[in-house]
Amino acid sequence: MSAARSDALVFFGASGDLAYKDIFPALHGLVADGQLDMPVIGVARSEWSREDLVARARASIEAHGGHADAAFDKLASQLQYICGDYSEAPTFTRLREVLGAAQHPLHYLAIPPSAFEQVVRGLAESGAAKGARVVLEKPFGRDYASAVELDDVLHQFLPERAIFRIDHFLGKEPVQNLLYFRFANSFLEPIWNREYIDHVQITMAESFGIKGRGRLYEELGAIRDVVQNHLLQIAALLLMEPPVGHDPEAIRDAKGQAFAAMRPLDPDEVVRGQFDGYRSQPGVAPDSDVETYVALRLHVDSWRWAGVPIYIRTGKSLATTATEVYVALKRPPLAVFEDVKRAQANHVRFRLSPDVVLELGARAKRPGESMAGEAVDLDACRDTVNAMPAYQRLLGDAMRGDQMLFGRNDQVVSAWRIVDPVLTTHKPVAIYQQGSWGPSEADHFIQGGAWYDPV
């Protein structure tokens, strides 16, 4: 039996930055696509009226390329507002009254994780959690212990099927394309294993710095910010076995098994870096040891991937902004042609941003009499200009009860288990120059090879 569709949408933190940057544009897009025909209730501490909320929504949509059209007029007519403190029971009593006849509300918690327990408890005690779904924004904890504690708290009030842990990165079209490419093409499966793959590189590079978020970044660092969630999720998509079945839960089962096979990180196989000038940023400690760059070697204890190292790196203020997966294949068992001994091995490359490219790297003979070749890249490029925005996709999925693109509790806890050993046990950060590819300590990190730098 299919899950009941949500019949009301409540978003806590309606006056915050996340609502302004992502939620209002997503709601506007859902209305335009005919997917949002229900009450939309904003909840926040700000002393606003409903008219203030509508004005905020209009400013958000116009700031992100939209305009006040028929879809906005409809969204505005659906908007309601509740001003209240998340720690006070009357806030949730009022919410239950405003929900009226709604039986399956979707509650979106665009609020700091420290307030999750207060809000979920308030929803449960007021009856507003009955038949509901709850969407939580990352981070889901700060380490393994806090993630387990948060999981225990949530399950006091909600079943796992009602919890939607959102990571907008998984809603992006290029990431979806990675999953599709893996399992929609039969030519890939025979070589997608330790017999043919030498190693895998995952790079998420950003040419910009922390953009004035010094105080926040001091609490995160690169490992917590993107490795524990975004980059391990990419690794799981690459490493997972074919799902058994066609329902969304089958894919989450396969990803869960991939996470379970990832070995906890060894501090000796992690290089942490910090860009020159980070400590002078507002909100940053003058002696900060927080990493703005990390390179690591991940091991996978599975039959398919045993012995194949997975290299992951990410950093701020690097040479370019790009996210790529580079899968290096093993060389032919016998070099029939002399130049093959010296040549770069074949590869499969997935470029996820800023553009989308699927590339097979091969060798072909150069024209002429000599039996010498050259590298050739067979590229398929995709235009993602008209792709559905990640938050719009994910909110639509949550309203339908589709959890495929949302983190499950075992995946979240496993990801923290993997990074937990290096959150506190590590060498001091190595300083690197802005605009470079990170600290020199990571230059020769890859055994028998080198980093593939996106351009």
Q: Which two tokens stand for residue 21?
A: 């940057």
Residue 290 and residue 273: Cα distance in Å, rounded? Answer: 8
Amino acid in position 339: D
Residue 192 and residue 68: Cα distance in Å, rounded? Answer: 49
Q: Name the pairing type of β-strands 322-329 and 347-353.
A: antiparallel
Question: Which one of 28, 168, 199, 230 is the catalytic residue?
Answer: 230
Write the DSSP assignment of 139-193 as a string of letters.
P--SSHHHHHHHHHHHHHH--GGGEEEE-GGGGSHHHHHHHHHHHH-TTTGGGSS
Q: Name the pairing type of β-strands 40-44 and 356-365.
A: unpaired
Q: For residue 453, give the nearest of 342, 323, 278, 357 by alpha carbon.
A: 323
Write the DSSP assignment of 78-102 as a string of letters.
HEEEEE--TTSHHHHHHHHHHHTT-
Return the SS3 of 443: coil
The 10 Å Cβ neighbour count of residue 239 is 24
Residue 268 and residue 425: Cα distance in Å, rounded? Answer: 10
Residue 152 and residue 330: Cα distance in Å, rounded? Answer: 44
| 230 catalytic per annotation | yes
Tell me which residues are annotated as active site.
230
